[in-house]
């Protein structure tokens, strides 16, 4: 009985002489999945009582975004109640945005007591919608990440004169 040997070649044709195939080898290409944009948030919150060590909690997460759209970043002045303009992300959808209240950054080394009081009053209120009765507040010198299911209705106001802010919005 003859011994059967299987090779990687088709059994219907004899194996190639010298290891060179007459037929080109079939190549399968795997399409790589394009990388997705990511939003990564890292931060810490500390609390300390006098005479005690601080307690800390980490805020850290990352997620893929559905869009490759560029973030929208602008400096804005907040005064009377107004809708937040998210630029080109209005149509795409805003997944999250950071609002920074730039007040409190003085050119002088030591602000006068009057300047300090005026600055402390430049609190920005952030409303989820026109019907929102419980806004979040953003004090001078602070920044915060906001996420709303529908950011198209987000409104901001500074009830004490005006506040210079920086807005950076990220797509969904």
* Domain tally, the chain: 1
Averaged pLDDT score across all residues of the chain: 88
The model's pTM: 0.77
pLDDT at position 74 = 97
Is residue 165 situated within a structural domain? yes
Is residue 91 situated within a structural domain? yes
Nearest to 154 by CA among 74, 93, 63: 93
* Beta carbons within 8 Å of 27's beta carbon, 6+ residues apart: none
Is residue 46 situated within a structural domain? no
Helical segments of 34-92, H only: 89-92
Digit-coded pLDDT (tens) for 81-111? 999 999 999 888 999 999 999 998 866 678 8
Residue 149 has pLDDT above 60, yes or no: yes
Is residue 89 situated within a structural domain? yes
Is residue 38 situated within a structural domain? no
Residue 155 has pLDDT above 60, yes or no: yes
Digit-coded pLDDT (tens) for 25-61? 678 888 888 889 999 999 999 999 999 999 999 999 9
Is residue 155 situated within a structural domain? yes
pLDDT at position 82 = 96
Nearest to 140 by CA among 114, 167, 113, 158: 158
State the SS3 of 22-43: CCCCCCCCCCCCCCCCEEEEEE
Chain CA centroid to CA 27, Å: 40
Is residue 136 situated within a structural domain? yes
Is residue 37 situated within a structural domain? no
Characterize the bridge pairing of strands 82-83 and 163-171: unpaired
Q: Please state which of the ranges 24-33, 74-83, 157-166 shows the lowest mean pLDDT.
A: 24-33
Q: What is the CATH number of the domain that holds 90?
A: 2.60.120.770
Higher pLDDT, 14 or 120: 120
170 touches 95 (CB < 8 A): yes
pLDDT at position 11 = 55
pLDDT at position 17 = 62
Structural domain of 77: 67-106+113-171
């Amino acid at each position: 009985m003859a011994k059967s040997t299987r090779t990687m070649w088709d059994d219907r044709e004899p194996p190639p002489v010298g290891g060179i195939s007459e037929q080109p080898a079939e190549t399968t290409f795997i399409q790589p999945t394009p990388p997705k944009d990511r939003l990564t948030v890292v931060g810490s919150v500390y609390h300390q009582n006098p005479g005690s060590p601080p307690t800390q909690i980490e805020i850290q997460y990352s997620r893929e975004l559905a869009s490759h759209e560029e973030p929208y970043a602008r400096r804005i002045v907040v005064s009377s109640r107004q809708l937040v303009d998210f630029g080109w992300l209005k149509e795409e959808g805003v997944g999250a945005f950071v609002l920074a209240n730039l007040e409190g950054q003085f050119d002088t080394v030591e602000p006068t007591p009057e300047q300090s009081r005026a600055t402390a009053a430049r609190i920005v209120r952030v409303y989820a919608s026109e019907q929102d009765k419980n806004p979040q507040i953003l004090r001078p010198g602070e920044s915060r990440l906001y996420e709303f299911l529908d950011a198209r209705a987000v409104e901001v106001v500074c009830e004490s004169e005006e506040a210079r802010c920086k807005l950076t919005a990220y797509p969904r």
